[in-house]
Amino acid sequence: MTLVSPPSWLQAGSYPAESDRQIQQALYATTGIIGSTSMAVTENSPAGMSVRVASGWAGVVGTTQANMGVYVFYNDATVTLTVTTADPTNPRIDRIVATVRDAYYTGAFNDVIYQVLPGTPAGSPTAPAVPANSISLATIAVGAAVTQINNANITDTRVEVTTNLPVGDITGVTAGTGLSGGGSSGAVTLSLANTAVTAGSYTTADITVDAQGRITAASSGVAASDPTPTVFLLMGA
């Protein structure tokens, strides 16, 4: 490996698109969708031998050769894909992918396409492999002689992109002793858990304190009374 030159965005220079894709790989380190709802695959309506792919973004790391960088693409509306007629005897598993085609490296096309890759019918079928320059969106269990695909037949295989940029290393917040809440995504809240003590005012309180400093038991005590006074009679001489 050598230093790749020229660098991107020289004021008075030119460079290949591959350089931009390599820079994008600093943002998108792995193949995946960009946004949790992007390109989800669902049954068609009405259900039949077809499925729908939702709108959204994705990034694909080029795999035809090394150092191709990341292709980023966008689907701006729902797309309907046809599923091949079911085998009359055996089930099969199809795979839905989005594939980037770049004729600079191989083939004759410069585009991105959705594909329904039909599996081989068998008693115990397996899904086709993911092609080069592709992202797997879903697999479809196509039963023998079925005439429609339902959501129950679709397995989501999408993953979200990861980044090479520095990010925090906290992956989850767990509520410790005396706390409730926590979580591993989104806005996380920790709350102080209630004890068995009833909120209120206590007089001459008897209390129990746990190792975390919380009052876990409290009751009002009895105030100490003054002793009966002793009266002294002083007699003069």
Given a cut of 50, is residue 1 above it in pLDDT? no
Statement to judge: residues 183 and 92 lie in one domain: no
Residue range(s) defining the domain that contains residue 23: 17-156
Regarding whether 67 and 106 lie in a shared domain, the answer is yes
Same domain, 132 and 87: yes
72 plus 129 within the same structural domain: yes
Mean pLDDT over each residue of the chain, to the nearest integer: 87
The answer on 135 and 104 residing in a single domain is: yes
Q: Per-residue pLDDT averaged across 62-76, rounded? A: 92
In a domain, 163, yes or no: no
* pLDDT reading at 26 higher than 80: no
Which among 111, 117, 164, 162 is positioned nearest to 138, based on CA atoms? 117
pLDDT value at residue 208? 82
Averaged pLDDT for residues 3-19: 73
Q: How many domains does the chain have?
A: 2
pLDDT tens by residue, 214-231: 787 877 777 666 666 666
Contact 64/105 with Cβ under 8 angstroms?
yes
How far apart (Å, rounded) are the C-alpha atoms in residues 56 and 79?
11
Asked whether 156 and 139 are in contact (CB, 8 A), the reply is no
Residue 94 shares a structural domain with residue 205: no
| Residue 13 pLDDT exceeds 80 | no
4 occurs within a structural domain: no
Residue 107 maps to a domain: yes
**Residues 101-105, mean pLDDT to the nearest whole number:** 93
